[in-house]
Structure 1
């Protein structure tokens, strides 16, 4: 495997099996999983309803490609179209979030006949050539070459940057002014789309004030510019308050295109785009997906989505996530190493700093190691790699939330002690 393949921990972890909200490694150690394979194990590990659906479908037929119809693909497309909030929606399935965003960019640029894209600073949209070209996070941008001309906007980070000290209303007004100024620098009507994560995932679970994208949409619509909502990490009720992240900016109405992946498959490789029929039908050449819409992955997605809706896991994310955020904020109040606890539902970020208040990847790395020693798996992100990401399966219980918070508190206290010790002469 290549040297650039990122691995967590000084001694890489081999996971062998999981159940519920727990996983086990090759040495038999048990961990409470607060990251879910990067927000992908959405409901639970080894969920019987999903494993049964996969097994039964695998016993019938595993693969056919999108050249042929299969009932699970049609059924899942119909359910996602209805849930998207987009009128007369169409759905195209892919195998990952990267590929979903790549497809959305293809659709938007073909429909608008433009290769200009608006994106947010600190954003992440995937690792393909096109999505790297619109990613606003230098840690995940290995090349400046791109088929797209990308224009980056303010607004993805509320508590850092030139507008951090403004009120929410002033922040939104300043970001809109930035957008208008940016559009004034390009040929009128030449921008294809804005792509934005409602909550920036790899960026450290940062988010703008509610309403920012509604305000952006008012400006974009004047020039016919499309809005792509990247819901790869925020979709399916993870934020608790809303099923989709864009709904926090509901005055704008639904986006023109919405991309999804990760949690819908609960570990199976599913991604996709759902959007307005006019845009989705705009390609004038053949296009298929060999593995998108696979009968097995579609069966898993259907079973997983059904379980999520029938057990109100969005409501559980709101309730248990709210308790977990407040618990972590209480912990952070006594630890200077934690600058901020932010998030919604079961999508929580903790920003760590050094003694001088500067973003600290070192502190985040220590926290990851100590949490693992305690039996807790978490993630990290942020432009400087200084933020912790907490995103358990949406079926997390109150008792598990309390247990995880206690384990993370101990890890953070050890980090605080280390940082103070390192500072001493």
Structure 2
């Protein structure tokens, strides 16, 4: 395995099985899972409806490729097209969010005949050559080489930076002015803006509602497409909306929407939705060998059906709201915690040093202490100083309370450790 392969914990953890919101390691210890394999186990571990769909399909045929029709693929495409909000939508399936964003960039640059892309600072869009080329978080962008000319604009996160103390309205105005200024310095046609409605790897940061609607009005004047990267925000996880773009709905739906992670509940499923004019612009043949696999499509269709029938978006709103308030209560008065932020079951806890500077060491300690408390969480942020909390969307109130209590204990241990080092 390569040296650059990121692995959590000083003693790496081997997970052997899971059920509901819990997983077990090779030593038989049980953990409450507040990260879901990076927001991928969206409904639950070993959800019977999904595992049974996988088993039934696996007993029939495992693989065909998109050269052949698959009933599950067609049915899933129809449902996603309808849910997307994009008129006259077409859906192309891939195996990951990276590949979905790569396909969206191919479509946008081909449609606009331009390799210029607008992207957000602090963003993350995957690990392919093109996706890295539009990633605005240097911790996850290992090369400056790119097939794209990427122009980074402000707006995905507020602090730190020159706009940190602005009101929502002032912040939006300043970011729109920044966008206008950027476009005034470009040569040729910019193809698209790609943006996460909530920045995932960036630490679950989000702009004020309506910012991308304001951006869209500027983009529309120039014919620039909008790609909404919904790989982490889609399917109702934020509680308030089914898609992250809907927090900016005054501008209407995006031209392209990418998805992955949670829809497969652990199976490798991704895709891009685009209006037909954009999706059909390619003038060469293309297939996906593993995108639209009969097994992954059966799993995703069963998973989406379960999510809709059990109103998991509503559960994310209710239980996520309770969890956010509980976390704010237990961390009040802890100097190491700068902010608890988020929506639904997409929550970030930003940690800082005694002087208010970002503290990646506090986040690393918190990750370890939470594990000791039987809780698994993620980590992100521009400086790697934010805990990422994104449990399966079937999380119960009792489990939310249990997780909050574990984080309370873990963060108090971090506070004591950092305080002792400061005194010494």
Q: TM-score, normalised by structure 2?
A: 1.00
What is the match of residue 51 of structure 1?
51
Q: CA deviation at 1:77?
A: 0.2
Q: Distance in 1 between matches of 2:207 and 2:160?
A: 11
What is the match of residue 379 of structure 1?
378
8 Å contact 1:132–1:141 — kept in the other structure?
A: yes
What is the match of residue 250 of structure 1?
249
What is the match of residue 223 of structure 1?
222
State the secondary structure of the residue aligned to 1:348: strand
Q: CA deviation at 1:55?
A: 0.2
8 Å contact 1:66–1:293 — kept in the other structure?
A: yes
Bigger mean CA deviation after superposition, 148-157 or 326-335: 326-335
What is the match of residue 160 of structure 1?
160
What is the match of residue 95 of structure 1?
95
Q: Distance in 2 between matches of 1:177 and 1:57?
A: 52
What is the match of residue 299 of structure 2?
300
1:205-225 C-alpha deviation (Å, 9 max, x unpaired): 000000000000000000100
Q: Distance in 2 between matches of 1:162 and 1:357?
A: 16
What is the match of residue 312 of structure 2?
313
8 Å contact 1:158–1:209 — kept in the other structure?
A: no
Does residue 1:207 correspond to 2:196, yes or no? no
State the secondary structure of the residue aligned to 1:222: helix
What is the match of residue 263 of structure 1?
262
What is the match of residue 18 of structure 1?
18
What is the match of residue 140 of structure 1?
140
- Structure 2 unaligned runs (5+)? none
Which stretches of structure 1, 4 residues or longer, exceed 2 Å deviation after superposition? Answer: none
8 Å contact 1:348–1:391 — kept in the other structure?
A: yes
1:23-61 C-alpha deviation (Å, 9 max, x unpaired): 000000000000000000000000000000000001111
Does residue 1:420 correspond to 2:412, yes or no? no
State the secondary structure of the residue aligned to 2:222: coil
Q: Distance in 2 between matches of 1:193 and 1:253?
A: 16
Q: Distance in 2 between matches of 1:178 and 1:97?
A: 28
Report how many aligned residue pairs link the two structures: 424
Q: Distance in 2 between matches of 1:121 and 1:187?
A: 21
Q: CA deviation at 1:332?
A: 2.0
1:211-267 C-alpha deviation (Å, 9 max, x unpaired): 000000000000100000000000000000000000000101000000000000000
8 Å contact 1:237–1:317 — kept in the other structure?
A: yes
What is the match of residue 353 of structure 2?
354
Q: Distance in 2 between matches of 1:272 and 1:4?
A: 27
Q: Distance in 2 between matches of 1:180 and 1:3?
A: 41
8 Å contact 1:34–1:378 — kept in the other structure?
A: yes
Q: Distance in 2 between matches of 1:326 and 1:277?
A: 43
State the secondary structure of the residue aligned to 1:206: coil
What is the match of residue 393 of structure 1?
392
Q: CA deviation at 1:159?
A: 3.4
Q: Distance in 2 between matches of 1:115 and 1:203?
A: 25
Q: CA deviation at 1:333?
A: 1.3
What is the match of residue 282 of structure 2?
283
Root-mean-square deviation over aligned CA pairs: 0.5
Does residue 1:129 correspond to 2:129, yes or no? yes
Q: CA deviation at 1:334?
A: 1.5
Q: Distance in 2 between matches of 1:109 and 1:387?
A: 34
Q: CA deviation at 1:164?
A: 1.1
Q: Distance in 1 between matches of 2:240 and 2:48?
A: 27
1:37-116 superposed matches below 5 A: 37-116=37-116
What is the match of residue 193 of structure 2?
194
Q: CA deviation at 1:294?
A: 0.1
Q: CA deviation at 1:131?
A: 0.4
1:79-119 C-alpha deviation (Å, 9 max, x unpaired): 00000000110000000000000000000000000000000
What is the match of residue 30 of structure 1?
30
Q: Distance in 2 between matches of 1:352 and 1:278?
A: 45
State the secondary structure of the residue aligned to 1:23: strand
